Amino acid sequence: MGYLLTPIILLTLLALIFGTFFIVKQQSAAVVERFGKFLSVRHSGLQIKIPLVDNVAGRLSLRIQQLDVVVETKTKDDVFVKIKVSVQYKVIKDKVYDAFYKLDFPQDQITSYVFDVVRAEVPKMILDDVFEKKDDVAVAVKAELNDAMLNYGFDIIKTLVTDIDPDAQVKDSMNRINASEREKVAAQFEGDAQRILIVERAKAEAESKRLQGQGIADQRREIARGLEDSVKVLNGVDINSQEASALIVVTQHYDTLQSVGSASNSNLILMPNSPQAGSEMLNNMVASFTASNQIGEEMKKAKKAKETLGIGMKPKKPEAKQDETPMDSSTDE
């Protein structure tokens, strides 16, 4: 008989030991009831209760928890959007009793308040303002939840609007608008770049023409000096100016033909293409210059004669009358 009682006694002692002691984890709280009535709140550590009399009714976490709520609502400009609100909350350590006994499902209560506030604030805004002022929506949700949930032992740490999802067609329209604006800006920048390029190209061309004209002027000046020196050299060997000019024209004619012949892809054509034609052109030019000089000399002479004739025809000033007093005969004697 004693062999049967021993195991029973051991089992009873073990049950009493395990029923007396219990452990509460860090950042958590245990609610102890005695015969179904609230007795106390136990915090982290090894705790004691009376077996078969006291009971651990439940445990609550004192850590910060997060609840994500997705609300679908309409904006002021009649656009339906889905807004995701993340609520971070925790149980107040001194109000574990309220959190455990006053609310059965606190997440449902928080969700209801989030729906109410979001659907009251977002319809006051257009879609662009919802994106720009999402922090205002989060602040309004937090203020409403703090006032409501504080009485139930919950502290709202922070509320965040983490996502705003308009209708797919609305998003496509917004993307097209954004793309059009960017294309417009790109076109403006491209136009400015083209204008700057055209202006700079015109400046470069003007500078090139100026330098080219200066080079041509210097070239012609040096050619004139060379021709002058050539004429002086030819005059030194008893060749007059007309013969020297004809010789120079013929020489330049053959030099030009040689330069044209040395270029393989030249399109230059000399008309007329004979030295006699160049000589005739030179003779005509010389005759023209001679006639022009003669006409100029005649005009100068005519002008000078006219000036001389005008001076001779000017009226002379009257001379002063002399006194006609007769001289005495005595004086003459």
Same domain, 145 and 162: yes
Does residue 50 belong to any structural domain of this protein?
yes
Are 67 and 142 in contact by the 8 Å Cβ rule? The answer is: no
Does residue 317 belong to any structural domain of this protein?
no
Same domain, 44 and 94: no
Same domain, 55 and 119: no
Buried b / exposed e over 35-64, threshold 16 CB at 10 Å, is eeeebebbeeeebebeeeebbeeeebebee
Does residue 330 belong to any structural domain of this protein?
no
Stretch (H or E) spanning 175: helix 168-235
The predicted model gives 75-101 an average pLDDT of 92
The residue from 61, 86, 105 where one domain ends is 61
- The CA distance from 134 to 10, in Å, is 65
Same domain, 247 and 222: no
Work out the number of other CB atoms within 10 angstroms of the CB of residue 104: 8
Does residue 299 belong to any structural domain of this protein?
no
| Higher per-residue confidence, 13 vs 192 | 192
Does residue 331 belong to any structural domain of this protein?
no
- Surface-to-core class of residue 141, CB atoms within 10 Å of its CB (0-12 exposed, 13-18 middle, 19+ buried): buried
Q: What is the pLDDT of residue 4?
A: 62
Average pLDDT over the chain reads: 80
pLDDT band, very low/low/confident/very high, at 24 (cuts 50, 70, 90): very high
Is 99 a residue whose pLDDT tops 60? Answer: yes
pLDDT digits (tens, 9 = 90+) for 107-124: 999 999 999 999 999 999
Does residue 321 belong to any structural domain of this protein?
no
Same domain, 97 and 150: yes
pLDDT digits (tens, 9 = 90+) for 162-211: 999 988 888 788 788 878 888 888 888 888 888 898 988 888 888 888 88
Q: What is the pLDDT of residue 162?
A: 92
Same domain, 219 and 247: no
What's the whole-model pTM score? 0.52
The residue from 111, 136, 166 where one domain ends is 166
Look at the chain and report how many structural domains it folds into.
Answer: 4
Q: What is the pLDDT of residue 328?
A: 44
Does residue 327 belong to any structural domain of this protein?
no
Q: Which domain holds residue 220?
A: 173-237
